[in-house]
Amino acid sequence: MAPAFEHRLLPGADGGVVAPHNTGSTNVSGDDQLLLKSKVTVVGSGNWGSVAAKLIASNTLKLSSFHEEVRMWVFEETLPSGAKLSDVINRTNENVKYLPGIKLGKNVVADPDLENAVKDANMLVFVTPHQFMEGICKRLVGKIRRDAEAISLVKGMEVKMEGPCMISSLISELLGINCSVLMGANIANEIAVEKFSEATFGYKENREIAEKWVQLFSTPYFMVTAVQDVEGVELCGTLKNVVAIAAGFVDGLEMGNNTKAAIMRIGLREMRALSKLLFSSVKDSTFFESCGVADVITTCLGGRNRKVAEAFAKNGGKRSFDELEAEMLQGQKLQGVSTAREVYEVLSHRGWLELFPLFTTVHEICTSRLPPSAIVEYSEQKPNFSLLQGSINGVVDE
């Protein structure tokens, strides 16, 4: 589909910017200009990581302010053939394990050496399953350029003694660099074949850097809207994975579309409420961007979290998520189950469990404390959805 509005400069819901897609290179040449060009490294090469590298690489070929080459750090593994994944990517220009059948672009270079992959880059794109991010950042301390800027495409968070720590904060704090985020209704396999999608770019304050990131990602089939709300955008991307698990349970129990729509609505409501309780700066308008309502919808319809949770419920919770993930995703990783646990820790530490019955119930089902059917059961012993209406109204609704 070729969207009619691809050339327009659109305001985001909060008045932020949307870059037009790239229009080609300008006349820049010479060694000095080469030194000034931005160099991009993608840290991660899973399903979305590979698609992100492809998107970016198509743009660095066209934009004179970027080096053409895009380096992609590969967590090295040996394929059943005995070959190394990074060698195969460089030979075939395909990530045969995580994105088979899609050419990444000849200017994508797979690099299994993390330090080598990042050392020259001033634009670092982080896109690995969230559970690996702390270890990766620790390995990168002192190894990156001082003028580097980062963006996180990672949907997830860490929980520390002090409370939740978003992945963008983890990157900023451990590496001492600014970090923006890009989230949205972005099922990677659909973007890989260039079906139209939107995405939301969340940034703190530097508009010039924001525009550069938006330019790097925007294509006619990938329309990026920028909003000045890093926490809101990142919490949307993170929390929707818990809602997707709930939607999968509903599908596994064959409860139908109305129930699933109810789960999405309640889930979105809990997402907004928790985000605003954690960060008072979070904007309501963010939940109407791609990262909010649109990502809830796409993930609850077609995501991996939904799919594996459906199988979990179909099996009556008798096969573990770890087992189903390994069997069904073949190396790709779920984020929703661990995020449900992390959210539960935050809620329980703050005494908010009863305010968030959907989030709480998802974790209790994942850990087999409750059966999958509890996702819509009401009882006096358990928190129920009606609590949400009263309690949260008082806390965050105007």
Ligand X SMILES: O=C(CO)COP(=O)(O)O
Ligand Y SMILES: NC(=O)C1=CN([C@@H]2O[C@H](COP(=O)(O)OP(=O)(O)OC[C@H]3O[C@@H](n4cnc5c(N)ncnc54)[C@H](O)[C@@H]3O)[C@@H](O)[C@H]2O)C=CC1
Query: In angstroms, what is the minimal distance from the CB of 325 to ligand Y?
Result: 9
**Which ranges constitute the DSSP H helices of the chain?**
31-36, 47-60, 85-92, 114-118, 133-140, 167-175, 188-192, 207-217, 230-252, 257-278, 295-302, 304-314, 321-329, 336-350, 357-366, 385-395
Identify which of residues 120 and 190 has a Cβ nearer to ligand X in the complex: 190
Q: How far is the CB of 155 from ligand Y (least distance, A)?
A: 4
Q: How far is the CB of 130 from ligand X (least distance, A)?
A: 11
Indicate the residue among 47 and 219 with the shorter CB distance to ligand Y: 47
Residue showing the smallest CB distance to ligand X in the complex: 303
Question: Three-state SS for 224?
Answer: strand
| Of residues 268 and 370, the one with the C-beta less far from ligand Y | 268
Which listed option, ligand Y, ligand X, none, makes contact with residue 44 (CB within 5 to 8 Å by class)? ligand Y
32 vs 280: CA distance, rounded Å? 45
**What minimum distance in Å lies between the beta carbon of 194 and ligand Y?**
15
Contact status, residue 357 vs residue 387, Cβ threshold 8 Å: yes
CB of 109 to ligand Y, least distance (A): 16
- Residue 335 or 360: the one with the smaller Cβ distance to ligand X is 335
Is the CB of residue 184 less than 8 Å from the CB of residue 158?
A: no
332 binding ligand Y? (CB under 6 A):
yes
Backbone angles phi, psi at 183, to 5 degrees: -135, 170
Closest residue (Cβ) to ligand Y?
46
| Composition of the chain by helix, strand, coil, percent to 5 | 50, 15, 35
Surface-to-core class of residue 2, CB atoms within 10 Å of its CB (0-12 exposed, 13-18 middle, 19+ buried): exposed
Q: Does 333 bind ligand Y (CB under 6 A)?
A: yes
Q: Which one of ligand Y, ligand X, none interacts with residue 333, CB within 5 to 8 A by kind?
A: ligand Y
d(CA 38, CA 149): 10
Q: Regarding beta strands 179-183 and 99-103, do their DSSP bridges make them parallel or antiparallel, or are they unpaired?
A: unpaired
Beta bridge partners of 200: 183, 225
127 contact choice in ligand X, ligand Y, none (CB below 5 to 8 Å, kind-dependent): ligand Y
Residues 116-155, interacting with ligand X (CB under 6 A): 155
Q: Which residues pair with 376 in a beta bridge?
A: none
Catalytic residues: 240
Q: Which of residues 31-60 bind ligand X (CB under 6 A)?
A: none
Q: From CA 354, how far away is CA 181, in angstroms rounded?
A: 30
CB of 272 to ligand X, least distance (A): 18
Selected binder of ligand Y within 98, 213, 287, 312 (CB under 6 A): 98
Q: Answer whether 375's CB lies under 8 Å from 263's CB.
A: yes
Q: Identify which of residues 194 and 211 has a Cβ nearer to ligand X in the complex.
A: 194
Backbone angles phi, psi at 113, to 5 degrees: -100, 105
Contact 144, 150 (CB under 8 A): no
Query: Which three-class secondary structure state does DSSP give residue 261?
Result: helix
- The item of ligand X, ligand Y, none sharing an interface with residue 98, based on CB under 5 to 8 Å by kind, is ligand Y
Cα separation, 66 vs 63, whole angstroms: 6
Shortest CB 190 distance to ligand X, Å: 9
Nearer to ligand X, 334 or 396 (CB): 334
Among 50, 200, 275, 298, binds ligand X (CB under 6 A): 298
Among 63, 137, 177, 188, binds ligand Y (CB under 6 A): 188
Report what 75 binds from ligand X, ligand Y, none; CB cut-off 5-8 Å by kind.
ligand Y
Cα–Cα distance for residue pair 114/127, rounded to 1 Å: 13
Q: Does 178 bind ligand X (CB under 6 A)?
A: no
CB atoms within 10 A of CB 332: 17
- Residue 262 or 329 with smaller CB distance to ligand Y: 329
Judged by CB under 6 A, how many residues of this single chain contact ligand X? Answer: 12
Which chain residues interact with ligand X by CB under 6 A?
155, 185-187, 244, 295, 298-299, 303-305, 335
Which chain residues interact with ligand Y by CB under 6 A?
44-49, 75, 98, 127-130, 132, 153-156, 186-188, 331-333, 335
